[in-house]
Amino acid sequence: MLNGILPVYKEKGITSHDVVFKLRKILNMKKIGHAGTLDPDVDGVLLVLLGNSTKVSDYAMNLGKKYCAEICLGIKTTTEDISGEILEEKKVTNISIENLKHICEGLVGEIVQTPPIYSAIKVNGKKLYEYARKGDFNVKIPSRKVNIYSLEILEDSCYYKNNHFYFTINIHCGKGTYIRTLATQIGEKLNIPSCMSKLTRTASGEITIDNTYTLDEIKKCSNVENILLKKELALKDYKFYELPKFRAHKVMNGLRFRKDQFPQLDFKSGIVFTYQEEAIAIYYLKNIDDELLSIKTTFPKNIE
């Protein structure tokens, strides 16, 4: 069975689930997942997790992501992107690029977003878009804090078309950020209806579009193992500590260590234990005063 991260270029017109479904057939394996859903109209980097690497899904989701988004000023839609039903339309003229820059700069940092009802966020056990499809628009959508690390306008991308103004931004953001909602927030600050008209995920962590493979390329690949990335890539925010064989065996048996067995390590944020440079478990302290370390995640490995 294959194990590792497969960097896929998801094309427009298919869902992230479609990618997983197709890869199960191409690779003839069932244990496949992905980290970070892309809408059908969005293309770009999709990290597909194979075999025991599905266990790093939550960690891969936390990798910072980069996007290139085109925003349309002058149209507001139900879905916050250009594919939705138009709710409001306005003629737009004389947009000040400097003012636009100032607004975008003000959105860098920790901001609050209320996701669109046409999204996969769950409320009371149901996905928001399920409420929308039934015509129930009264559901209370919880707001949440997200991080925008950088937001840059590409000045040469600006243009007017059909009485609307279009411009492109590059965004580096944290987990849970809705770029569609960000497009709407920019318009709100201008008091102009707005929506996202195009979106490409250009990077997930350090993995860029240049590092990805299309489904056709994967299908033609004679040895997919050669293009897989190590699961440890998703754990880059942790410190790694190599264990000797006898302790690695104990980890695989689920043993909880005492923290004084590793006086040189700080377990507050968690430590990735490795054997032969491969991650086998993450240990951490639930409480600062605990003497025993807790196990956060283990990664199956045969240790001979």
Give me the catalytic one of 18, 39, 43, 58. Answer: 39
In a domain, 277, yes or no: yes
Cα–chain center distance at 209? 14
Query: Do 118 and 161 lie in a common domain?
Result: yes
pLDDT band at residue 127 using 50, 70 and 90 as cut-offs: confident
Question: Counting Cβ atoms within 10 Å, is residue 2 exposed (0-12), middle (13-18) or buried (19+)?
Answer: middle
- Predicted pLDDT of residue 223: 93
- Look at residue 304 and tell me if it is in a domain: no
Closest by alpha carbon to 177, among 19, 69, 55?
69
Q: Give the pLDDT of residue 141.
A: 80
Give per-residue burial for 74-113: e unless 16+ CB within 10 Å, then b: bbbbbbbbbebeeeeeeebeebeeeebeebbeeebeebeb
Nearest to 300 by CA among 54, 13, 24: 54
Question: Once rounded to an integer, what is the mean pLDDT over residues 198-219?
Answer: 96
The answer to whether position 59 is within a domain reads: yes
For the chain, percent of residues with pLDDT exceeding 90: 74
Query: Which residue type is seen at 244?
Result: P
Give the residue, 137 or 4, on which the prediction is more confident. Answer: 4
Q: Is the pLDDT of residue 242 over 90?
A: yes
Tell me, yes or no, whether 17 and 76 share the same domain: no
Q: Tens digits of per-residue pLDDT, 81-97?
A: 999 899 999 999 999 99
Q: Quick one: pLDDT at residue 113? A: 94
**Count of domains forming the chain:** 3
**225: containing domain:** 4-63+206-233
Q: Is residue 188 part of a domain?
A: yes
- Please tell me whether residues 75 and 191 are part of one structural domain: yes
Q: What's the predicted TM-score (pTM) here?
A: 0.90
Quick check: helix, strand or coil at residue 278? Answer: strand
pLDDT in tens, 174-207: 988 999 999 999 999 999 999 999 999 999 999 9
pLDDT band at residue 37 under the 50/70/90 scheme: confident
For tokens 């994967």, the residue is 218
3-class DSSP state of 144: strand
* Domain termination residue (choose one: 148, 183, 201): 201
CATH assignment of the domain containing 73: 3.30.2350.10
Domain membership flag for residue 303: no
Grade residue 126 by pLDDT with cuts at 50, 70 and 90. confident
Transcribe 100-119 into DSSP letters.
Answer: HHHHHHHTSEEEEE---SSS
- Is 39 catalytic? The answer is yes
